[in-house]
Structure 1
């Protein structure tokens, strides 16, 4: 089990590290003693120290019966540096980094890995990437203004730059289309909608396309998009998916559209990943009601920016921590492993400089859902 310590443990600060002049090994021993981190008279014993220019790892033999303890998170305050703690095979590993993450990293420092990989951000151990071919669906959560939408626009830009003729976007911007409307005429954007009715139309259209692609793969005895030589990948971006949760306050018509949306999103999560469809489910307010169990079970990639409470963090990434993130753009990225990252920052101006050449239609006031003439009529 591994604990990422992002900063800010208010409940338990033992020493003011800046005024305590001793080495890290002695400080760690003092923390063990003050936390009573031992079994009877047996305490962890240091067996190995491994040092690089970036970090130092202290490895301890731990007495049987002693496991990792959340209280050890106080080490970051004590050492006044980032710390990552892991516990495997009765060994406690305390990795102490020399420097803290910067509060911002510009997009241009993140080299492209091509294909369907995107940069997630800079971690203490270097740049972290996500490969949508390996893990097709992703949940992105975060309170307003903390970086969720900037992150979505960043990876959209990255995918267009690397696959200009092989990527399509279907964007459900449930904040009135304001966040993505300026990209509506990019040739890679097939639809941008902002209400329940249009969202249901677009999702039903996507579902129909999925079924056609499945039929094609069956006809050639292929198991997935790669094996079937399907070149295009289709990304369904839902920004503020909580708006698609049926509510009593909705009109009967909108509530029915919301149910349709929920049904298709669950279908995409269950069925479409290996067919070439990738869903990014974004929400400001992750709750059990908003996150359909099928979506959560199949979207095992999670990016959590600052959330309001540990309960929301628990729903988003199955553990507390996102409520303690201190800076805009700082996030926890979790799949099988877990990383604290500072996500790439890209301005609206730079986005347009990079992908504006694909803006092949004069701006209009039309809803871009109308660009697909075969959208299902409700």
Structure 2
């Protein structure tokens, strides 16, 4: 029997909930708005709240990426000290991207490049690609009852194309339900061109304070782990060890091939046992075979990235030389999905730990 949504200690179906409120926006809503000052001026965005403490902000002007996520008023993500920067002010040349890197709970890397910059095929491939600064088109916000579920959904399209080169389209839908503790990102990539293309895609999920702290732990199912560089190699044995902020810490990056179930599902989580709360991701490893970990224990840049990807983060030329570039045929479509959610309390945490143990046992 299907369970009902839980609202503040009560399991309520549609009729019982509507007895207790006037307009649904009393609890759950999608509110479009626009930033009006500073480096974020002109960015269009949507704030989504689902009625039981989960609230997140999507940047319409930047790939519908999730710049913030809160639960019961608690921040869950990392936001760089550069803040929210309009695409009009973002300089992607060389290392200038560091002055406008998006951060937040999710920013999307790709579709032509992830990681190191390069000149490839006569085109500049910027750090982490162009999607993160691509405005969404055909944006639609949907908030309505579907049976006993009050569904909140935002969708839009981002195009990455160049004359004589690629013509790729990303169709994105981000959804949650009233009473839920998770968000689902569903992406469809279409090659609308007449030639096969090389595809790179990484979901940059960034967990921050207070979920991330010296009392936190990283939970990843058994994996094959590879360090990005010699410095990261020195810390590979402690990849799951999280510390308090360290002045001058240099980032370390690891790539994990995680255990998954028979359907390819896998996941990871950052858990703060002292607070009794965590952030998790679930995704299909058949489509996103690499889980990249970005470990930045640096004071002021204190973050942990858990990032499902089709690739590593050394750039498209490295991936091609390694024979690991994903390809998409002319007029082919590829579907990707990612769930980001909250583990609230002992029962949620133990349930996710059981999920990880089951993955490791298969």
User: TM-score normalised by the shorter chain: which range applies?
Assistant: under 0.3
Larger helix fraction of residues: 1
Higher relative contact order (CA 8 A, sep 6+): 1
TM-score (norm 1): 0.24
The structure whose Rg is larger is 1
